[in-house]
Structure formats: structure tokens, C-alpha cells
Amino acid sequence: MSTPPGKLRLGALVALVVGSMIGGGIFSLPQNMAASAEVGAVLVGWAITAIGMLTLAFVFQTLANRKPDLDGGVYVYAKAGFGDYMGFSSAWGYWISAWLGNVGYFVLLFSTLGYFFPVFGEGNTVAAVIGASVLLWGVHFLVLRGIQEAAFINLVTTVAKVVPLILFVLIAVFAFKLDIFTTDIWGLKKPDMGSVMNQVRHMMLVTVWVFIGIEGASIFSARARKRSDVGKATVIGFITVLLLLVLVNVLSLGVMTQPELAKLQNPSMAAVLEYIVGPWGAALISVGLIISLLGALLSWVLLCAEIMFAAAKDHTMPEFLSRENANHVPANALWLTNAMVQVFLVITLFSSSTYLSLIYLATSMILIPYLWSAAYALRLAIRGEGYENARRERRKDLFIAAVALLYAIWLIYAGGVKYLLLSALLYAPGVILFAKAKLEAKKPVFTHLENMMFVAVLIGALIAAYGLYDGFLTL
């Protein structure tokens, strides 16, 4: 049976999920985790992450099945459950998180190319920014040719980048040494690392970063060939990526000690494989990372445009963002997204710490959309919406949604006040587009409750702005 024009099969949806999640994060995972946690805390952190992210994956699966009329994922659940402003804020936050992550990917990509071509340095030289800009607009015009064509290329790059990861795991299994793995397992000999709970909390933003993209299939639900494929793709993609992440992280801790891993330059996976097999190992992982980042960039360009397009279609965003070109690609949303990426690429010329700052800020921006999705799933289960004659499924989904919501709240706590305030600074300006959309629909901008929510966001943004000016907050 042929796929209808513009519709995506299960394989393409799975590739979008896996391709979105496996970007640059997994290649830097050994150092990123070792920098803040010892083996014991890492294992505890992964256990929390596995449970929390699995429940989020099930939440997206449940919502796709129980609310088949809601297309666009993430933001639309916040809107349906908690009103227009929360729906808009989820779309806005998700969009900012996505394109900020893309800027980070470009920097890491050209930093990796610097292994072969020193002119690219750490990814923020003039040559690197020029190269990244050329690549950005190359991807831009590729996507303008059509979603299906771009999704097929993403499928190919997803397969290509998984191969070196599997090879790394196989080699690391034979190099793994239990005595290295169990040395100071709780970090008791390193008081500067803090308690086990502090170690776990500090590694949380890293674990969220490597899982961002889990909702990728739900974003494209309107373009899926079969609605049931959306939930399947989410769970299949999650399990695949979870296994790879845990194996890469845990096996590395049995190859090199925590202090050794913490000192590595990124992509640290390349250094670990070089430690085992020599220089060709670093070259292999670097090539894998380049392919991975190219695929992830394509996935996230698609997701960025799609979330704004979907939000504009139901008047959450201004109407101009809903316009498609002849190939059914949301062209205006794509132009706005990549214009913002271009601006921030130029900014990287003046900020050597931009990459890590972007990663943590991008992660914090997506926590609110995750929280509202889990809260909406919990609300449906409590009220019984979509659960007629399905009492057992309702009890199960109630438990899963409650766990997912608790996990989302824990993540906001783990991120800390700093990133909550910085997120408010980025959320606040979105009110301009929200007000424009409301005026186009000839509706009042805020309800009474939404007005109070916006005031809270505005206060947080003002504190963050003053904090950056005064120096008690930094990017």
C-alpha cells in the first residue's frame, strides 16, 4: 500500500524521534556526566531518568491515542488543558529550545571538524561561523523542497550515525574493567562533589538534554500515515536511545576513572575510544558525530518549523506563520526559525562559552512544555475523558501521568532558580506574538488567570534582566 502524499510511515517517525534525540549529547556524555557525578550517582540518576522519561514517553503515546483530534503535540495539550496562554507559552518555549539547540549543534559540529581542520577552532571562529551559515541555509532550502524528502534523508543519517555508537559499545565491553568501575563508587573520597543527591541533581539537565526529541513523533502527528504509529514511534525511539545512552555512559566509567573522564575535551567519546584502540578510534567517533549532528540538525529544523506552523493553524500563533509553500512546507515559520539561528551564530563569535550556555538554557526552556503535557494527561485520567469502558487503562494512565508530572517538577527543581529566571526572560517577549494572534482572532488578549500568569513571568524576566546586568546571574 502506497503512502499518501506528505504522509510519514512508522519508520520515518521512529527516525525523527531517534534522530532528534541522538544529536551531539551522547558523544559528550562520558565527560558531561563524570564532571558532576561518580558511578553510584550516575546509576541512580539514570534509574530516575529511565522511569521519568519512560512515563513521559507513555504520556505522549496516551495523549496521541486518547485525543486523536489534537495534532501538533506538546503545545496543543497545554492549550487544551490549561488555556490559550499556557498553550502559546509551551509552543514558544519549545520553539526557542529547539533553535537554541540547533545553534549549539552548529558550534559542536564545527568544533569537531576542527579535529581535522584547525581553522574551525572550537566552532566559534570566523571560518566556523561562515561554514555553519552556509550549512544552515543549505538545510533550509532542502527542507523547503518538502517534508517527506527531508524525512527520508533524516532516516538515512539516523541509520548511519547509530553504527559507530554500536561499534563503540562493542569495543568498550571488552575494555571494561570492574576495578576501575567500582573505585570510590559514591565519590566519598571527593568531598568537593557533594552528597549523592547533589551529584544526581547536577547531572539531571544533561540527562534531559540527551532525551529532548522524545516528543518528535507527536509534533508530526498530523502528517503520520496512521495515528497509532505516533505512540509506537515514541516508545520504540525512547527504548532504543535509552539503551545506547546508558551503555555509552556506564561502559566509559569502567574504561577510565571519573577524574580522567571529567578532564576530557568534548566530544569525550572520541577520547575514550582513542584511549582503547588509538587515534583511529577518535577519527571514527568524530566522523560519527559529524553525521549525527547533520541528521539532528535536519530533524530539529523540521521540528522548529512544524511547531510554529501547527500553533498558527489554530490561531495560537499569528496567521503569517501558517502559510505553506507549493511543497506544503511551512515556509514563513522556517524563515523565522533559521533567521534566529543565524543571529545567534554570529553571537558565538563574541562568546566562548556559548555552547554550554545554550545547551543548559535550551534544556530549561523545554521543561515547562513537558510539565503541562504530563499535567494534561493526569487531568484526562482523573476526569475519565476518552476512557469510556476502559477503567483498567484509566487507572494505569493515572499512575503513569502522576509519575511523569512529579518527574517534570523534579527537573525544574534540579535545573535551579538560575535557569528558571533565565527561561522567564525568554518567555516574556513572546507575549507580542500572542497578543497579535489574539487581535487577529478578535479576542481579549488575557483571561484574568492568564493575566496573573503573565505578571509572574514578567516579574521573573525583570529579575533575570537585572541579575544579568548586576552580575549575580550569568549565561
Q: Closest Cα partner for 251 from 359, 166, 160, 163?
A: 166
Residue range 32-42: average pLDDT? 87
Q: Is the pLDDT of residue 361 over 60?
A: yes
Kindly report, residue by residue over 140-191, the tens digit of the pLDDT: 888 887 755 556 666 676 677 788 888 999 999 999 999 999 887 887 777 7
Contact 37, 203 (CB under 8 A): yes
Task: List pLDDT tens digits, range 105-149.
Answer: 888 888 888 878 889 887 778 999 999 999 999 888 888 877 555
Helix, strand, coil proportions of the chain in percent (round to 5)?
80, 0, 20
Average confidence score pLDDT of the chain: 84
For position 298, what pLDDT does the model report? Answer: 75
Q: Which residues contact 423 (CB under 8 A, 6 or more apart)?
A: 93, 361, 364, 365, 367, 368, 460
CA angle 86, 88, 91 (to 5 degrees): 110
Q: What is the pLDDT of residue 37?
A: 85
For 8, phi then psi, to 5°, come to: -110, 135
Alpha-carbon distances, residue 336 vs 96, 119, 300 (angstroms)? 11, 30, 14
The CA distance from 253 to 248, in Å, is 9
Model pLDDT, residue 76 = 85
- Residue 200: per-residue pLDDT: 86
The predicted model scores a pTM of 0.82
Structure-model confidence comparison of residues 210 and 411, the more confident one: 411
List alpha helices for 384-441, DSSP H. Answer: 391-427, 431-440
Lowest mean per-residue pLDDT among 39-48, 147-156, 266-275? 147-156
Instruction: Please tell me the predicted confidence (pLDDT) of residue 359.
Output: 74
Q: Which of 1-10, 99-108, 224-233, 379-388 has the lowest mean pLDDT?
A: 1-10
pLDDT of residue 72 exceeding 80, the answer is no
The pLDDT, as a whole number, for residue 148 is: 59
Work out the average pLDDT over 195-222.
74
pLDDT of residue 223: 66
The band of 474, judged by pLDDT with boundaries at 50, 70 and 90, is confident
Query: In terms of Cα–Cα distance, which of 282, 342, 365, 394 is closest to 75?
Result: 365
Q: Would you say residue 87 has pLDDT above 80?
A: yes
Q: How far is CA 150 from CA 106, 142, 226, 300, 467, in A?
A: 18, 7, 19, 11, 42
Residue 57 has pLDDT above 50, yes or no: yes
Residue for cell digits 550569568? 474
Task: State residue 360's pLDDT score.
Answer: 76
pLDDT at residue 6, as a whole number: 55
Q: What phi, psi does 224 have (nearest 5°)?
A: -75, 140
Number of H helices, E strands in the chain: 19, 0
Per-residue confidence (pLDDT) for residue 1, from 0 to 100:
42
Lowest mean pLDDT among 51-60, 213-222, 244-253: 213-222
Q: What pLDDT shows up at residue 152?
A: 67
Q: Are 209 and 363 in contact (CB under 8 A)?
A: yes
Q: What is the mean pLDDT of residues 58-76?
A: 79
Greater confidence, 379 or 209?
Answer: 379
Banded pLDDT at 232 (limits 50, 70, 90): confident
| Residue scoring higher pLDDT (249 or 193) | 249
